[in-house]
Amino acid sequence: MSLLFLPPWLLLIVSLPTSGATARTRIWRALKSLGCMALRDGAYLLPAGEEREVALQELAEECRREGGHAWLMDVQPRSVDEAATYRQLFDRSDDYAELCKSWKEAGRTLSGLAGSEVSRMQRRLQRERDMVRAIDFFPGDASLEAEAAWTEFTQRIERVLSPDEPHETAGGIARLDASSYQGRTWATRRRPWVDRVASAWLIQRFIDRDARFQWLSQPSDCPKGALGFDFDGAAFTHVGERVTFETLMASFDLEQDAALMRVAALVHQLDVGGEPVAEAAGFEAVLAGAHQRLDEDDALLAEMSKMLDSLYAYFQQAGGRPG
């Protein structure tokens, strides 16, 4: 590779007064969160990038305000081997190994935890994973292996939180006339999570405004004549890659609504994974909080329906485009 095409690097050299212990700790933590690697005491390397350069410049200015000195420099490797050495400094294999170890240890405790404790643990481990991924500038085999382990771990969590989660079925989706589905009783598993609560909102808002809901302790409790959704054997459930929310949209010809499709993308990501949706984490956090506050599933649906109404209005105003 020509030296002209070797990617550049940023080098921050800082020197703080010996009396500035608090500032030293604060700046060191900031450098660590950015993913900098220490070449020696006071010399920190980072792959070049506009946002990273701005962040390092802000830290340099903070050093000067604290009475210290700071120099931010562009660094160009002199050879391919030197560039490879720089990259090797940022190998995150050990970090991923630690993550995988923590997931394995957490997995041993799942059966003894309440659902709210499992959700909190999942959010904490997700934050730790995201922190490593954010500073993994050169992902390799270790990141791929960690992603596979994370997928397996989250699937175990889902089996604990939703033991009756439906399996996908094959086949097509029949187009249905909503006028034939008015004033019906709809049934799904109690303590609805993302797909179930969003599907109930979709039914009540777009399909059957007079819908009545029954929340089942187990799918086998579904009464005869009720329209089941989001469990194996239900009238509406996962079909192919579609989650129940998307199956309902396809069944009742709602896929022309761009804002509703954005809601569907959010539900899909939170239920089975997929392309990130910026609003998904906020929705999941509010739903987790509602689960802790509200014991009645009708009250849970009423509260989350307000949020879904607001999300839908926001997506309409944005033209259904990703944020």
Query: Collapsing DSSP states into helix, strand and coil, what is residue 144?
Result: helix
> How confident is the model at residue 22, as a pLDDT?
87
**147: helix, strand or coil:** helix
pLDDT for position 1: 47
Within a 10 A sphere around the Cβ of 117, how many other Cβ atoms? 12
**What are the angstrom distances between the C-alpha of 148 and each of 142, 173, 243, 280?**
10, 31, 22, 21
Q: Angle at CA 207, nearest 5°, toward 201 and 208?
A: 85
Confidence category of residue 156, pLDDT binned at 50, 70, 90: confident
- Provide the edge-to-edge strand list for the sheet that holds 227-228: 212-216, 185-189, 227-228
Q: How many CB atoms lie within 10 A of CB 298?
A: 12
Query: What is the per-residue pLDDT across 113-132, written as a single tens digit (0 to 9) for each?
Result: 877 788 889 889 999 999 99
Distance CA 23, CA 207 (A): 59
Give the whole-number percent of the chain exceeding pLDDT 70. Answer: 93
DSSP string, 241-280: TB-HHHHHHHHTT-TT-HHHHHHHHHHHHHHH--S--TTH
13-31 burial, b for 16+ CB within 10 Å, e for fewer?
A: bbebeeeeeebbeebeeeb
- Cα–Cα distance measured from residue 99 to residue 128, given in angstroms and rounded to the nearest whole number: 8
CA torsion, ordered 21, 26, 28, 30, to nearest 10 deg: -170
Q: Which residue has the tokens 């410049």?
A: 57
Q: What is the pLDDT of residues 30-54, one digit of tens each?
A: 999 999 999 998 999 999 999 999 9
d(CA 58, CA 38): 18
Task: List, in order of start, the domains of the chain with CATH numbers.
Answer: 3-89 (3.30.70.240), 93-161 (no CATH), 178-317 (no CATH)
Q: 6: which 2 tokens? A: 């070797």
**Hey, what are 153's tokens?**
């771990």
Q: Say which residue, 323 or 305, is predicted with more confidence.
A: 305
Residue 74 bridge partners (DSSP): 10
Judge whether 233 and 219 are in contact, CB under 8 Å: yes
Report the alpha-carbon distance of residue 121 to residue 113 in Å, rounded.
10
Q: Check if the beta carbon of residue 280 is closer than 8 Å to that of residue 264.
A: no
Query: Chain-wide mean pLDDT for the chain?
Result: 90
Which whole number is the average pLDDT over 133-154?
A: 91
CA 91 to CA 95: how far, in whole Å?
9
75, pLDDT greater than 90: yes
- How much of the chain exceeds pLDDT 90, in percent? 67
Q: Is the pLDDT of residue 249 over 80?
A: yes
**Which amino acid is residue 120, in one-letter code?**
R
Range 164-177 average pLDDT: 74
Contact of 3 with 79, CB cutoff 8 Å: yes
Looking at residue 101, what DSSP letter applies?
A: H
